[in-house]
């Protein structure tokens, strides 16, 4: 549901941080309100839990965050369901924003947002330079991975679909492996 009648810039949107409703994003200049349901929240919690465990089991494994304003360009400020940055970009306790793009973003299917997540947000993440994106389909119980084959790759040139008893791994997260069973059925 759109709550803005007129178009906004990213700067105008970010200036409303203290007065706008929670769970909003700026997509193509329009403020969008998202109201996730229980299946979405369950998957979000499961992935966040396992990423947090992996981070705590070693030194220098970065930081995982929940939705926060991530400016993508002058017309888009997204709030991915989860995001991760490497240790060199770990936010400090008093830091109010990330100050750049996450290395990994995770978007989880909501019935009202899935089409927009894939058609608008994915290409925007790619164009902005995000290294990897996971798209979790709660209806099909699959996970789509979009990543760059190397840090200098111009686009998401690796595309994977994890299904059934598969595991998601990432070159960004050495030693991390998460089975779909742990994402969907716990």
For 19-62, write each residue's pLDDT tens digit.
Answer: 998 889 999 999 998 888 888 999 999 999 999 999 999 999 99
Question: How many domains is the chain partitioned into structurally?
Answer: 1
Whole-angstrom Cα distance, residue 108 to residue 143?
Answer: 9
In a domain, 28, yes or no: no
Is 29 within a domain?
A: no
Is 18 contained in some domain?
no
Q: Angle at Cα 177 formed by Cα 100 and Cα 153, nearest 5°?
A: 45
Q: Does some domain include residue 103?
A: yes
Structural domain for 137, as ranges: 35-184
122 in a structural domain: yes
Measure Cα distances from 140 to 109, 137, 151, 154, 184 in Å.
Answer: 10, 6, 30, 29, 10
Which pLDDT score, from 0 to 100, does residue 170 have? Answer: 97
Name the token pair of 85.
Answer: 């940055």
Average per-residue pLDDT in the chain?
Answer: 92
Give domain status of residue 2, yes or no: no
- Taking alpha carbons only, the member of 137, 130, 124, 127 closest to residue 168 is 137
Q: How many CB atoms lie within 10 A of CB 28?
A: 11
pLDDT one-digit tens code per residue, 122-151: 999 999 999 999 999 999 999 999 999 998
Residue 1: is its pLDDT beyond 60?
no
**Is 62 part of any domain?**
yes
Query: How many of the other CB atoms lie within 10 Å of CB of 148?
Result: 18
- CATH number for 163: 3.90.1570.10
Tell me whether residue 15 is in a domain. no
């Amino acid at each position: 549901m759109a709550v803005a009648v007129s178009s906004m810039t990213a700067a105008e949107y970010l200036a409303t941080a203290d007065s706008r409703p929670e769970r909003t994003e700026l997509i193509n200049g329009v403020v969008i309100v998202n109201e996730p349901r229980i299946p979405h929240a369950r998957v979000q919690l499961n992935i966040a839990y396992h990423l947090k465990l992996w981070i705590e089991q070693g030194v220098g494994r970065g930081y995982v965050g929940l939705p926060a304003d991530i400016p993508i360009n002058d017309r888009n400020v997204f709030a991915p369901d989860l995001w991760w940055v490497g240790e060199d970009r770990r936010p400090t306790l008093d830091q109010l924003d990330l100050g750049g793009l996450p290395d990994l973003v995770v978007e989880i299917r909501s019935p009202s947002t899935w089409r927009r997540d894939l058609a608008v947000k994915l290409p925007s993440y790619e164009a902005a330079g995000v290294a990897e994106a996971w798209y979790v389909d709660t209806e099909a119980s699959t996970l789509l991975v979009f990543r760059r084959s190397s840090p200098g790759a111009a686009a998401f040139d690796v595309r994977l679909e994890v299904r059934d008893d598969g595991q998601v791994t990432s070159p960004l997260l050495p030693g991390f492996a998460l089975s779909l069973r742990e994402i969907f059925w716990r």
